[in-house]
Amino acid sequence: MRSAVEDRLVVLISEISEVPAEDITADTPLEDLGFDSLVLVELAMKLRKEFGVVASDEELDEVETVGGLLRFATRARSA
């Protein structure tokens, strides 16, 4: 079961990628959702606005899956 933060993050990913949230799993590669460097910049802005998470391009480039992004955002919020 996902937390409210995880649910909101999946919705943000869905909005950006235009893939239905119910089709997005933790194992979904961000590349499969069409995430490139420009999309990652948009995601970084949304992470800051929605969650107060500051993510550099380099940090986001290292994230490969939705689950990895969820873990990154959760850790960053806790820091």
Active site amino acids:
36
DSSP letters spanning 2-50: --HHHHHHHHHHHHHHT--GGG--TT-BGGGGT--HHHHHHHHHHHHHH
Which run of H or E residues covers position 59? helix 57-62
